Structure 1
Amino acid sequence: MATILADNRNSFAILPDSPDLARALDEANVPTLLAAYVHMTHDAAFLDRFADHIRPAFSQPPTDIPEELADDLRARMRHLLTTGEGYQARPASDALLQRIMTVTVGEPVEDEFLELVEDQCGFRPYIDRSQMVGRKAPKADFKILVIGAGMTGMAAATKLREAGYNFVVIEKNADVGGTWYENRYPGVGVDTPSHFYSFSWEIWPDWQHYHPHGADMQKYMLATADKYGLRRDIRFNTKVEKLVWSDVDKVWTVTVQKADGTREDIVVNAVINGHGPVNRYQFPDIPGLDDFAGTLVHTANYPADLDLKGKRVAVIGTGASSAQLVGAIAPEVGQLTIYQRSKHWVLFNPELTHEVSEGMRWALANIPNYKEWFRFRVYWAAADGLYSNVVKDPAWEGNMTAVSQGNAMTREYALGYMQQRFADRPDLIEKLTPDFPIFSKRIILDNGWFDALARPNVHLEDQGIARILPNGIEAKDGSVFECDVIICATGFNVAKMIGNLTIKGIGGRDLGEEWGEDDPRSYLGMCVPGYPNYFHTVGPNSAPNHAAGQNMISECQVHWIIEALDRINEADANAFEVTQDAFDAWNRKVEERMPQMIWTHPGANSYYNNSKGRVFLSWPWRLVDFFHATRAPEDGSYRLLH
């Protein structure tokens, strides 16, 4: 029987000295192994031996740890795990955790990150409401409806249940997953590294790739739904159509359409809208599109049985979905023409195609604290570590294609990669090189995109489309590409954030009319005055467009919403409504900040901007700032309705 050593943050069973352990120690990331070892032993002095050999993530090289020092670490960890000798049962202090962070990422990690890391890396949840002493239990007849069972809806379901609330989730699809249930085109994948793009309470050791394929991501979502029993509170194949607030009864009447086409009204006290901004795909507005006689598809609704072998295929769009798709299909199609409307910066990350080795997966699954510290390392490199790229340096005097020295260096790296890959194709370099700063639009990660563009059966058309013909596409220069299949990789209607929902608030106010087609505004991306107990997640100016982190934004918003619901419950009130003053002040703060950000550069124009150029989507600060802003509703920012 295994001996268990435990405290509230460290616990492990003593492991047998096995070939699996030996292989895991050999293949494990050394700085992460160091973090896990010091966390368990509290041997801060051992950190000092590594401090001069670890540098920030984008340094070249990021580490130069001597092999004898790495071997010493492996031997110490092996002895600890197989004997328990040196294990410290008391929790690691904040000072030690901070020292571990600073040494293992090669740069200072300030106090403001401690709570975020402990919560988001799974060491200690910021709040577990099921364990809160003195918290008033929610009323059984106070019911919440959650729209959508994607990442945000699943987070809401998990935490609402933990908090003891009565709720139901309405999901239009047949299972959980949201965008990862729907997007199944060849090559579909995730920009965010696997070991960060997950729930903080369900850090998965089973990723097969360092960047998940779409099927990997959906597998995680399904496994999480199974583990937490989420499906019992979800009504599938049901679509929300309308929300109407009652000024008299202080409730929402939610009209849903069931699978059989009939409608039902559900009366609830609060609504959490988790249907997400990348849920409503759109076809391009091009003359003749409906007249095409061949096969017309969108990447977000890709037929599982579509056979492209030997076919003449046109792809409209050159964004992230197109780059993933083209890299996957180019080797099998007969001829492929890609129609480019706008250029995009491309970065190469070798990890994008790397599989997680068996030893590394074993370490993540079995070495205590290893997966948590690996998640921290990924967060630091792929999220807030990239923030400086999107902030304008007022003293920058370089060219107009960058906003700071660091941003210019990143641009040169991307440009150098492109020039190296297409050294013999100056025509492609000319077509692909953007004239705007890198990071002012979404970055493309190269996972076969450049390889595909260099193939003899692939042509990149940058003259624009004049019209769609029954047998193909006519470009603006008059050339015609006759094709069998047109695939639209043309994204989503992100700006119309309520989609086709009708939302009627106090006095019949209509949120669709107030936001219009592309001008949504809210408080913290969640609340709008006049719509009590309506919480719109992943809303205006809450997207982390500087880097990875949508999973964390979703968690933070769910946390804040439940805090708001608790305020209602504690006061025996009926509803929570953000004030007009708080709403106005927040939007002024965002507007004042945005001119300092790369997304307002004259050359930047993407789906982050609305038709008037306003940046409606992006959160203009770091993830750690969002974390602290969403710990609880600020006193004076809301009123409670009785």
Structure 2
Amino acid sequence: MADAADLDQFRQSIAEALPCANVPTLLLLLYQFTGDDYWLKPPFSPIKSRWDDNDSGGLSEPLQSEVRAAALDAIVAWRAGRPIAKPDLSSDELIRMLTTSEAEAIPHEYGEMMVHKLKKYAGATPPPVNLPAGFKILIIGAGMSGVATAIRLKQAAVPYIQIEKQDRAGGVWHSHHYPGCGVDTPGHLYSYTFAGGNWTKFFPLQDELDGYFNRVAREFGVEESIRYGTECLVTRYDEESKTWKSRVRYPDGSEETIETNIVISAVGGFTTPKWPNIPGLHDFDGPVVHTSKWDPSVELDGKRVAVIGNGASAMQIVPATADRVSEMTIFQRSHQWAAPFPKLRMPVPEPVRLLLNQVPHYEWLYRLRLSWIFDSQVHDALQKDPEWPHPDRSVNAINDSHRANYTAYIESQLAERPDLIAKVVPGYPPFGKRMLLDNGWYKTLLKPHVKLVDSAAERIEGRKVIAKSGEAYEADVLIVASGYDISRFLLPVNVVGRGGKSVREAWNDNDCKAYLGTVIAGFPNFFMLYGPNTALGHGGSFIFTVESQIDYVLSTLRQMGERKLAEVECRLDVYETYNETIQAMHRGMIWSHEGMSTYFRNDQGRIVTNSPWRLIDYWNMTKEANLDDYVVKELDEGADEGASERARA
């Protein structure tokens, strides 16, 4: 219980924060802290918001003031020692609360998952995993998924070795430095469920994201054990010893083979830049820089800059650099949908940061709201309606309404330039390609020194970029914003499974498949995070997907220990049936629409990146592993000692 002086200071700081706080979240907090239904009924029912997290709830100023005053009293009373009326919210209560808060019906099936999230927000840890003596695990990578894996394994008392080829953790957020680089998911959602972000911006930029993952690694005690500057060259399964032998290279160039029972790949997908096949590109008479390998020494000020590409990285770097250059020419290969971004570059007010830190229940409920707003809401809009009369422009009535809203937004942004509207509005349905957020893109296109070329670059001669339309443009600097080789999973590591077959051979290079995006038939005791068909083309935070995969891996390991198993390998029939199922689902979804090209599809036309599942479906499938899906082999007699010898790193 706080003393009087501390309580007065606390009241003052919370009073300063509440005018900027999210009113729908405060209503949820009031119900939890007081137990009073009054706050979940009219006139306090928020209205539906189209674009954002709805800070005002659409309530009148007098009603907002009443909510804030009551929240201040309830929060201060809690700080003074008053028990929370509803400390453990049930799934039914959460559904009712969020249905009111979001102004739409939340399906009851989401209740259990929401309870699960709240428990993790409150610090729930996985139960111990008791593997046979000597069992060890290799984690390849220390980015977002690798750090989370190490933390969860440590909490479950599982021994592991972790390697990272960079000089610190953070993955893509450490390696990427181009201007404007940031996340297009709200920071409070792009956070581990077990570790808040204390973000300075609602949509953080690269440096803060890098700092977050390194801070979490440090605070949870896994940073010190990461072997930095260490690259895995090849990991090969030894069928006789039932172990993985991983050849690694250290910073000094020396190499070693590490033998472990389990390998978990956390190499991510945004590691290998994809260069466009443009004749003369690498002979350009001036600096050429890819956004994935940004060189800050490249001079942009006062230069004529050409940008190849208009996808996610271009939409960030162009507004961030346009005012520095004398001319900017953007070569657009295809049109893109971009949604409004109301909190673009908006800082989280300092008093609100204090509220989030000092009142964890507010943060948890705020994040829970965001997880619904930004997760699977658009899933229904992605399903093809065979009776829909306009399949060229949209896939169903909901999708068509999205098209109308996004088109109206673009038209409002470019009202003074009808010629640009015609150049940028896509002909394919919204969400057919990766949905982007407007980082100031449309307003940048209006600048007199910025030119959008509605044509791909065909070739480069000296300092001239020639478009497929035949026009030539002079440039001093060439920025290549063409993205990554996303569809060829596990590209950074040569993974060799049973029978000496590599994963590239098993997948025919880019026909990537996995069961639950996590395990591959023919690759025993091998798990991958961010595998095929796990990307969220329908919205949401990928961190939650990765955490679901980690829970699945822990469940598998726990059962291996309980049953004294040496080997688990996904059954081929389970593997094939699963992949046939998701492709059948995709044939009925927007990403198989013929009206656009997309990196979601491989050369065979299969959707290999995106998940067809709602997050609730994927969570249900991964919360507990079913070892009936696997071929399992028990430890040999006396294998505990043998495993101890073999698994030494």
How would you bin the TM-score normalised by the shorter chain? over 0.9
Post-superposition CA distance 1:69-105 (Å, at most 9, x none): 3322222222223234574275333333332222111
Post-superposition CA distance 1:372-424 (Å, at most 9, x none): 11111111111112222222233322352111112111111211122222223
- 1:330 aligned counterpart, secondary structure: helix
The one of 21, 27, 30 aligned to 2:20: 27
Deviation at 1:635, TM superposition (A): 4.2
Post-superposition CA distance 1:129-184 (Å, at most 9, x none): 3xx4xx66234511111111111101100101111111111111111111111111
The one of 29, 34, 37 aligned to 1:36: 29
Gaps of 5+ in 2: 635-649
Contact 2:433 2:596 in 1 (8 A): yes
Q: Which residue of 2 aligns with 1:95?
A: 92
Q: Does 1:277 align with 2:274?
A: no
Q: Which residue of 1 aligns with 2:647?
A: none
The one of 544, 564, 584 aligned to 1:592: 584
Contact 1:54 1:103 in 2 (8 A): no
Q: Work out the CA distance in 2 between the residues paired with 1:270 and 1:86.
A: 45
Q: Work out the CA distance in 2 between the residues paired with 1:298 and 1:155.
A: 29
Q: Does 1:578 align with 2:575?
A: no
- 1:68 aligned counterpart, secondary structure: helix
Q: Does 1:386 align with 2:378?
A: yes
Q: Work out the CA distance in 1 between the residues paired with 2:555 and 2:349.
A: 41
Q: Work out the CA distance in 2 between the residues paired with 1:176 and 1:52.
A: 43
The CA RMSD measured in Å over matched residues stands at 2.2
Q: Does 1:333 align with 2:325?
A: yes
Deviation at 1:506, TM superposition (A): 1.3
Map 1:477-488 to 2 at 5 A: 477-488=469-480
When residues 590 and 462 of structure 1 are mapped into structure 2, their CA distance, relative to the original with a 3 A threshold, is same
Letter aligned with residue 190 of structure 1: V
Contact 1:138 1:164 in 2 (8 A): no
Q: Work out the CA distance in 1 between the residues paired with 2:582 and 2:464.
A: 45
Contact 1:495 1:517 in 2 (8 A): no
Q: Does 1:112 align with 2:104?
A: no
- 2:344 aligned counterpart, secondary structure: helix
- 2:460 aligned counterpart, secondary structure: strand
Q: Which residue of 1 aligns with 2:543?
A: 551
Contact 1:254 1:265 in 2 (8 A): yes
Letter aligned with residue 136 of structure 2: K
Map 1:371-410 to 2 at 5 A: 371-398=363-390, 400-410=392-402
Range with bigger deviation, 433-442 or 46-55: 46-55
Letter aligned with residue 15 of structure 2: A
Q: Does 1:358 align with 2:358?
A: no
Deviation at 1:310, TM superposition (A): 0.4
Range with bigger deviation, 312-321 or 419-428: 419-428
Q: Which residue of 1 aligns with 2:60?
A: 66
Q: Percent identity?
A: 33
Contact 1:119 1:200 in 2 (8 A): no
Q: Which residue of 1 aligns with 2:76?
A: 82
Q: Which residue of 1 aligns with 2:174?
A: 181
Q: Does 1:514 align with 2:506?
A: yes
Q: Which residue of 2 aligns with 1:10?
A: none
Contact 1:36 1:368 in 2 (8 A): no
Range with bigger deviation, 362-371 or 575-584: 362-371
The one of 347, 353, 359 aligned to 1:367: 359
Q: Which residue of 1 aligns with 2:595?
A: 603
Deviation at 1:619, TM superposition (A): 0.6
Contact 2:53 2:370 in 1 (8 A): no
Post-superposition CA distance 1:42-76 (Å, at most 9, x none): 22343123564433655999843233333222222
Q: Which residue of 2 aligns with 1:9?
A: none
Task: State how many pairs are aligned.
Answer: 629
Q: Which residue of 1 aligns with 2:643?
A: none
The one of 196, 208, 214 aligned to 1:222: 214
Letter aligned with residue 34 of structure 1: L
Q: Does 1:615 align with 2:607?
A: yes
Q: Which residue of 2 aligns with 1:438?
A: 430
Q: Work out the CA distance in 2 between the residues paired with 1:293 and 1:122.
A: 57
- 1:522 aligned counterpart, secondary structure: coil
Q: Which residue of 1 aligns with 2:404?
A: 412
Q: Which residue of 2 aligns with 1:302?
A: 294
Q: Does 1:48 align with 2:41?
A: yes
Letter aligned with residue 106 of structure 1: A
Letter aligned with residue 99 of structure 1: R
Contact 1:472 1:484 in 2 (8 A): no
Q: Work out the CA distance in 2 between the residues paired with 1:58 and 1:511.
A: 41
The one of 243, 246, 259 aligned to 1:254: 246
Contact 1:119 1:126 in 2 (8 A): no
Q: Does 1:292 align with 2:289?
A: no
Question: Under a length normalisation based on structure 2, what TM-score does the superposition of the two structures give?
Answer: 0.92
Q: Work out the CA distance in 2 between the residues paired with 1:414 and 1:385.
A: 16
Contact 1:167 1:233 in 2 (8 A): no
Letter aligned with residue 48 of structure 2: R
Q: Work out the CA distance in 2 between the residues paired with 1:405 and 1:477.
A: 35
The one of 614, 632, 636 aligned to 2:624: 632
Letter aligned with residue 96 of structure 2: R
Q: Does 1:164 align with 2:160?
A: no
Gaps of 5+ in 1: 5-12
Q: Which residue of 2 aligns with 1:344?
A: 336
Range with bigger deviation, 444-453 or 61-70: 61-70
Q: Work out the CA distance in 2 between the residues paired with 1:50 and 1:76.
A: 15
- 1:109 aligned counterpart, secondary structure: coil
When residues 504 and 136 of structure 1 are mapped into structure 2, their CA distance, relative to the original with a 3 A threshold, is closer
- 2:16 aligned counterpart, secondary structure: helix
Contact 1:15 1:81 in 2 (8 A): no
Contact 2:517 2:534 in 1 (8 A): yes
Q: Does 1:245 align with 2:237?
A: yes
Contact 1:313 1:337 in 2 (8 A): yes
Map 1:526-545 to 2 at 5 A: 526-545=518-537
When residues 226 and 90 of structure 1 are mapped into structure 2, their CA distance, relative to the original with a 3 A threshold, is closer
Contact 1:44 1:96 in 2 (8 A): no
Range with bigger deviation, 337-346 or 354-363: 354-363
- 1:157 aligned counterpart, secondary structure: helix
